[in-house]
């Protein structure tokens, strides 16, 4: 591979949705297709990085081959464990995955039988992976995503501060051509000082490239 701005750097990307089991045949998940995270993994590889791609449930095939090490996970807890194993040795961590905020309090060993007219599932809070990484951070450039339906800037900046990220990539998932499942995205990128870049509608590949170029410029020791 040709040398690039991320040559010699390790980039960890999470992609897809987590799967929270209810019983052996049922689960809770979300609409993340994996496309945004996969595009980020490929863009990082193109810029020279060694990539670890941690993927939950996805609708498209993950990229594979030289430069990308793929790990498949199910639950938020599995994703957290996988990210932690790579965290200390990484330079950039990008959390494009849609992680479930809650999981069923009990995971039944056997298929739950139909009984009464209503069934109540109790949910308990999952670990917030990004927030934990924000606390443990020790030189890594931490990039979060924010999937919002309103007040994009307000919520994105709140997440950036609360989760101690270096950059946050906000997408309004109600805009046409942005967010879950699409081949394109429309993102606004923020740092602790506010807006860094507003990107127009473009393919997830192009969006990913722009995010990684920005990340490369912000690594310790980067020029200009």
What whole-number distance in Å separates Cα of residue 133 and Cα of residue 48? 24
10 is in an annotated binding site: no
Whose structure tokens read 């900046």?
157
DSSP assignment letter at 114: P
Active site residue 150: no
Angle ∠(180,58,77) on CA atoms, nearest 5: 100
Which H or E element spans position 55?
strand 50-55
Neighbours of 26 (CB within 10 A): 12
Q: Which is nearer to ligand PMT, 159 or 209 (CB)?
A: 159
Residue 95 in marked binding region: no
Check whether 158 is labelled as a binding-site residue.
Answer: no
| In the complex, minimum distance from the CB of residue 114 to ligand PMT, in angstroms, rounded to a whole number | 31
Q: How far is the CB of 212 from ligand PMT (least distance, A)?
A: 14
Q: At closest approach, how far in Å is the CB of 74 from ligand PMT?
A: 14
Tokens of 150: 């309103």
Tell which residue, 14, 130, 127, has the closest CA to residue 72: 14
Query: 184 - beta bridge partners?
Result: 203
145 is in an annotated binding site: yes
CB of 127 to ligand PMT, least distance (A): 6
Give 48 or 95: the residue with its C-beta nearer to ligand PMT. 95
163 labelled as ligand-binding? yes
Q: Are 65 and 124 in contact (CB under 8 A)?
A: no
CA angle 40, 132, 34 (to 5 degrees): 25
Q: Which is nearer to ligand PMT, 1 or 125 (CB)?
A: 125
- State which residue, 164 or 213, has the beta carbon closest to ligand PMT: 164
- Contacts with ligand PMT, residue ranges (CB under 6 A): 32-37, 76, 95-99, 101, 126, 128-130, 144-147, 159, 171, 173, 179-181
Active site residues: 30
Give the annotated binding-site residues. Answer: 101, 111, 145, 159, 163
Give the annotated binding-site residues for CTP. Answer: 101, 111, 145, 159, 163
């Amino acid at each position: 591979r040709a040398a690039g701005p991320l040559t010699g750097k390790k980039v960890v990307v999470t992609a897809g949705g987590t799967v929270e089991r209810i019983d052996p045949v049922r689960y809770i998940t979300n609409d993340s297709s994996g496309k945004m995270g996969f595009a980020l993994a490929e863009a990082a590889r193109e810029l020279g990085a060694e990539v670890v791609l941690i993927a939950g449930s996805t609708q498209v095939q993950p990229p594979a081959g030289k430069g990308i090490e793929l790990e498949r996970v199910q639950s938020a807890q599995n994703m957290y464990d996988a990210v932690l194993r790579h965290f200390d040795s990484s330079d950039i961590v990008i959390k494009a995955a849609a992680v479930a905020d809650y999981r069923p309090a009990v995971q039944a060993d056997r298929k739950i039988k139909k009984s009464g007219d209503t069934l109540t599932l109790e949910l308990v809070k999952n670990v917030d992976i990004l927030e934990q990484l924000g606390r443990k951070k020790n030189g890594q450039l931490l990039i979060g995503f924010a999937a919002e339906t309103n007040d994009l800037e307000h919520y994105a900046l709140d997440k950036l501060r609360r989760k101690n990220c270096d950059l946050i990539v906000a997408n309004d998932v109600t805009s046409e051509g942005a967010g879950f499942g699409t081949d394109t995205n429309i993102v606004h990128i923020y740092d602790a000082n506010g807006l860094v870049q507003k990107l127009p509608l473009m393919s997830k590949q192009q969006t990913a490239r722009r995010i990684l170029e920005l990340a490369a410029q912000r690594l310790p020791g980067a020029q200009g």
